[in-house]
Amino acid sequence: MSSPSEADDVDSESSGDAAGPYAIERYLNVRSAYGASFGPDGDRLSFLMNTTGTAQVWTLEGPREWPEQRTFYEDAVSFASWSPERPELIFGMDEGGNERAQLYRLDADTGEIENLTAKPEAKHRWGGWSHDGDRFAFASNRRDESVFDIYVQRRDETGDVDGGSPSARETSSPADAELVYEGDGWLSLAGWSPDDSRLLVSQAYSNFDQDLYVLDLETEELEHLTPHDGDVRYQSASWAPDGEGIYLVTDHGDADTLYLAYLDLETKTLETVVEGDGWNVDGIALDDETGRFVYSRNVEGYTELTVGEFDADDPTAFETFPQPDLPGGVSGGVSFDPGAERFAVSTTGDTVNTNVFVVDIETGETERWTDAPTAGIPPETFDESELVHVESFDGLEVPGFLTLPDDPAWNGSDGAPVIVDIHGGPESQRRPSFSSVKQYFLDRGYAYFEPNVRGSSGYGADYAALDDVENRMDSVADIEACVEWLGDHPAIDPDRIAAKGGSYGGFMVLAALTEYPDLWAAGIDVVGIANFVTFLENTGDWRRELREAEYGSLEDDREFLEEISPTNNVENIEAPLFVLHGENDPRVPVGEAEQIAEQAEKQGVPVRKLIFEDEGHGFSKLENRIEAYSEIADFLDEHV
């Protein structure tokens, strides 16, 4: 089938450049389809696709049929969830990247859209539909920007949502949601109980420490399920079909990696269901009517899916079904159809752009439903990465993904220039998923290296904690070890190594340039932290406590945070620097970019700066992405 996005593609002859057959515009028109949700009758599937340049809601009625675009905004839609009973969806969207998401209702029959929250000063986090479709829940910091409360909103007798409003978000009025619990921290919701009388609530203290609670909606009492000492992860929680227990992944009991467990609500006992065998069980998707499930294991960054069904009499016993054969190597975002006979899942890989597949649970047979195009670029031209391990200064093995270009000597050199692309988080992980930006630079003759330095997730709690607070700079030393390893690689030119990173990865770039200035030909800082003190002082109120748990607190660790901040070591930078940021960034305020660019320029460092007025923490709009990566390419061509 033809794709409706093909008209947006740039002609290959007119968009070519001297370094490769396709310009960045072409690569950024490679589309992604993900975030699937089955409609209430199982005959329609919604998903998000970025055909227009930002992710919008689309629906389709069969595999690779012509999809229908349902939203038409400049800002990206973050999720869409069908009602379990009616032809309607709720989706989320912020404005200009400010992350203060509002919730909207889309009538799938008429196309009418109404703003359900209309509190532009507040952030709204989706908590799911009730099983009867009469209510939905969300968490929001309406009352106090620094904490999240729990709200429930009910439909009225006509089928409309109480407090409903016109489709244009500018004219919407606040919806009439009921505050059912006042929180005192970072609360989120994990779903309704099978009888819709209770909500499962999570409270996060850090990325490696959470608690679970049950909120009784009649009494509005909160029951603590997971009292504990120290850091324990309780994540991906789902109700058991009988409502008497919870399935979750946890590292309770000093386990280094996450395992799948069952928590009995009456006894509060935790029973192991599946061990991770040295790797994280990342999460579980569970249909609480049938007990059918899909759980994933993260093995060196690659996804292993297990499909099964729990025993109705023994919550820790289950049978498994054939493993689905999905392309790529990284999968997630499971959504069951109404009878749990099928599930939709998004999948991607180094050479496979993201698309939605539907899997038959009992047979494992898979069928591709979406047709996100590759902008006319032959998929066989995409390059695949190799998993490598680098020994760091203290003997630690640092994993990473190295991708080499087909023609590493396009400019006459004996070795390829290389971009060391450092992830953010820091508790994140580079995985072998598709990146149009990476494939663009590979096409231009650059090699690409993506390290998972200490502090990354996916390799156990001990590995993730190795960069906490006073050990922060050990992760930067890992980058030095990786660069030394790259310099010895026969396909790499050691004099043409550039650092690139976003968010916390931007800090890593700046720190690498200040700590090891002689290693770099250039640095690219995208929405990065330049000074931990000013960052923590100015980040969103709702994020500060979580970030201090990772980086150190302003009260106790200010001197150390000042010591390691790149702005206080800027005199060491020798390599040309490109700083990019979004004016509306609520996570890492734009002042971080302003100060590092100004101070580096005063030191005589060649500096470029690019600030987007309509972006937040990253660049979501296609025209901005084209401008940003075109300038990055020019910058690298000039200096690398």
Q: Is the pLDDT of residue 171 over 60?
A: no
Q: Is the pLDDT of residue 163 over 80?
A: no
Mean pLDDT computed over 428-444: 95
Give how far Cα 211 sits from Cα of 202, 233, 241, Å: 6, 8, 21
Q: Is the pLDDT of residue 427 over 90?
A: no
pLDDT digits (tens, 9 = 90+) for 207-242: 889 999 999 999 999 999 999 999 999 999 999 999
Q: Quick one: the chain helix, strand, coil %, rounded to 5?
A: 20, 35, 45
Mean pLDDT computed over 148-157: 85
pLDDT band at 17 (very low <50, low <70, confident <90, very high): very low
Report d(CA 573, CA 517) in Å as an integer: 6
Q: Is the pLDDT of residue 456 over 90?
A: yes
What is the reported pLDDT for 99?
A: 87
Report d(CA 62, CA 505) in Å as an integer: 40
- Specify the pairing of strand 330-336 against strand 342-349: antiparallel
Q: How far is CA 146 from the centre of its chain?
A: 22
pTM here is 0.90
Q: For residue 591, which phi and psi values (nearest 5 degrees)?
A: -60, -25
Find all residues with CB under 8 Å of 442, minimum gap 6, and list them. Answer: 383, 403, 404, 405, 406, 448
Find all residues with CB under 8 Å of 624, minimum gap 6, and list them. Answer: 612, 614, 615
Q: 394: which DSSP letter?
A: T
Of residues 507 and 541, more confidently modeled: 507
pLDDT digits (tens, 9 = 90+) for 252-303: 998 999 999 999 999 999 999 999 999 999 999 999 999 999 999 999 999 9
Each domain of the chain, given as residue ranges in start order, spans 87-184, 382-639
Mean pLDDT computed over 191-214: 95
Question: 3-class DSSP state for residue 189?
Answer: strand
What is the reported pLDDT for 7?
A: 30
CB atoms within 10 A of CB 332: 19
If we measure between CA atoms, which residue out of 607, 588, 301 comes closest to residue 424?
A: 588
Share of the chain above pLDDT 90, in %: 80
What is the reported pLDDT for 169?
A: 40
Question: 3-class DSSP state for residue 607?
Answer: strand
CATH number for the 382-639 domain, one of 3.30.70.100, 3.60.20.10, 2.40.50.140, 3.40.50.1820?
A: 3.40.50.1820
Question: Residue 386 in contact with residue 442, Cβ under 8 Å?
Answer: no
Mean pLDDT, all residues of the chain: 90
Give how far Cα 299 sits from Cα of 180, 273, 459, Å: 40, 18, 9
Question: 3-class DSSP state for residue 81?
Answer: strand
